[in-house]
Amino acid sequence: MRNVRRLFLRCLRLGHRRKFTYLNLVTDYLRYGRLCLVSLTHNSFTNSDVVIESLFEPVYWLVDHVTRWFGIVFVALVILLTSSIVLIVYICVLPLILQTYSTGWICWHLTYGHWNLILIVFHYYKAITTPPGYPPQAQKNTPSVSVCRKCIAPKPARTHHCSICNRCILKMDHHCPWLNNCVGHYNHRYFFSFCLFMTLGCIYCSISSRVMFREAYAAIEKMKHHEAERLQLAGNETYSQTPPPAFSFRERVFHKCIIYLWVLCSSVAVALGALTLWHAMLITRGETSIERHINKKERKRLQGKGKVSDLRALLSILGYLY
């Protein structure tokens, strides 16, 4: 009996030992796996921002690719819409100006209209074809403030990485889908001039065609009224009254073109005018759109610490101002 008990206890001990061996083996494998993962992913610069950025990487990739492809569609849209407005002005508005206006006004419209059109075309062409400016590749001693994590290359001051162009851009302002190009050091002036002259052109077209728009709007309302009357008379089957004269196809197209011209030009004038004013304000401050955002964040951070971040405030303390 004693022998049986001893044998049973030995078996139990062996089972324990085997169980412990398996447990140790699993723990070792887990430790090894963790070590491999940490050694593969360890980076002393890793923080919460990098982790979030890595998690959203597929979303960024999708947005960047869609924007890259849509850039071509947007450029085609700008060319198509501008051409349609120019065509309407030449076909519908200009003949009326030539027929009704005095010689002085005709000269003014012809000179200003064509001058504005040439400037729009020239600045748009230059804005889409001029490279925004890239950091020099060959020079090793370029003064840089940081290293771009995407290009693994030194980043000179005021340079930012554009994920759509997949390059670092000198004095980057923003990536413009309407230009399918980045706005940077070398094409910022063309971008701003294009916005300015496009706004001026849209204001000019809206003001010039405002009377025609009112007439076209009234004509379209009349058209709808006539159509309703004709339907009513056709329903009566008596034909005692003569139906009102219908508008010809040419008249209908003419009025609709004028409405399209005025609505599009006014909307673009308001939206692009606001954007132009915003960029004019940034230029007076010597900031790009990205720097405006960074400076605002930095100003808030330093103000929270009770430090002076504004140059004006700093100069006033030092006695250079006031």
| 162 binds Zn ion per the rule CB under 5 A | yes
Of the candidates 62, 60, 67, which has an alpha carbon nearest to the alpha carbon of residue 180? 67
Nearer to Zn ion, 117 or 282 (CB): 282
CA distance 303 to 310: 9
CB neighbour class for 15 (10 Å; exposed up to 12, middle 13-18, buried from 19)? exposed
| 172 binds Zn ion per the rule CB under 5 A | no
| 75 binds Zn ion per the rule CB under 5 A | no
| 168 binds Zn ion per the rule CB under 5 A | yes
Nearer to Zn ion, 121 or 151 (CB): 151
Helix H or strand E encompassing 132: none
Q: Rounded to the nearest whole angstrom, what is the least distance from the CB of residue 183 to Zn ion in the complex?
A: 8
Q: Which stretch binds Zn ion (CB under 5 A): 43-51, 171-179, 202-210, 272-280?
A: 171-179
CA distance 160 to 147: 10
Residue of 16, 17, 19, 150 that binds Zn ion (CB under 5 A): 150
Distance of CA 84 to CAs 75, 89, 168, 258, Å?
Answer: 14, 9, 36, 11
Helix H or strand E encompassing 309: none
Q: Estimate to the nearest angstrom the gap between the alpha carbon of 60 and the chain centroid.
A: 15
Nearer to Zn ion, 187 or 199 (CB): 187
Residue of 175, 185, 188, 255 that binds Zn ion (CB under 5 A): 175
176 labelled catalytic: yes
CA distance 90 to 208: 13
- The one catalytic residue in 176, 182, 205, 257 is 176
Residue of 106, 119, 121, 151 that binds Zn ion (CB under 5 A): 151
Residue of 128, 164, 257, 261 that binds Zn ion (CB under 5 A): 164
Q: Rounded to the nearest whole angstrom, what is the least distance from the CB of residue 73 to Zn ion in the complex?
A: 16
What the block records as the tokens of 256 is: 């609709």
Catalytic residues: 176
- Interacting residues with Zn ion (CB under 5 A): 148, 150-151, 161-162, 164-165, 168, 175, 182
